[in-house]
Structure 1
Amino acid sequence: MKVELVTTLKRQATKILADLHASKEPVLITEHGQPSAYLVDVDDYELMKKRMAILEGIARGEKAISEDRTFSHEQAQEKMAKWLK
């Protein structure tokens, strides 16, 4: 992963963004030697958001199973039938 100082980002933003778009490699921005932010390509960011939403849905489903908040196939069909009327 590429690492850049925030001052370098300020001075060379166009070049850093061009490199980012070409390589698709995230850029870690540091301030005072400490990680501050990541620059990521827009398409990669959108993909990460979609993946996170899927993982959150899986986690909710696993929690529902562990709390015994599930429906049988027949119960689910009945509920869906009411919604589709």
Structure 2
Amino acid sequence: MKTELVTGLKRNATEILADLSADGEPILITQHGRPAAYLVDVEGYERLQRKVGILEIIARGEEAVEDNRVVSHAEAKKRMARYLR
């Protein structure tokens, strides 16, 4: 992973964004020698957001099972029928 000082980002933003667009590799931005942020391209960010959304759905499903909030397969099909038309 590339690392860039925040001052370097300020001075070379156009070049850094061009490199990011070309290779899609996230860049760690540091400030005063400490990690401050990650710079990612739009496609990578959107892909990450989709993955996080899926993981949240899975976590909610696991919680429902733990709380015994479940239905039979037949009932699930019946409930989902209106969305699958």
Q: Tell me if TM exceeds 0.5.
A: yes
Partner of 1:31: 31
1:53 aligned onto 2:53: yes
User: Matched residues in 1 for 2:71 and 2:48: separation?
Assistant: 31
SS in 2 for 1:21: helix
Write out per-residue CA displacement over residues 17-58 of structure 1, whole angstroms, 9 at most, x where no aligned residue. Answer: 001111110000000001001100100100000000001000
Whole-Å separation in 2 of the counterparts to 1:77 and 1:14: 52
**Which segments of structure 1 move beyond 6 Å, counting only runs of 4 or more?**
none
> Identity of counterpart residues, as a percentage?
58
1 or 2, which has the higher helix percentage?
Answer: 1
Query: What is the aligned-residue RMSD (CA, Å)?
Result: 1.9
Q: Give the whole-Å Cα distance in 2 for the aligned partners of 1:20 and 1:79.
A: 45
Classify 1:22/1:77 alpha carbon distance in 2 versus 1 (closer, same or farther; 3 Å): closer
- Higher alpha-carbon deviation: 21-30 or 65-74: 65-74
Unaligned runs of 5+ in 2: none
- Counterpart of 1:42? 42
Q: Which amino acid aligns with 1:12?
A: N
Distance 1:2 1:82 in 2: 48
Normalising by structure 2, what TM-score? 0.88
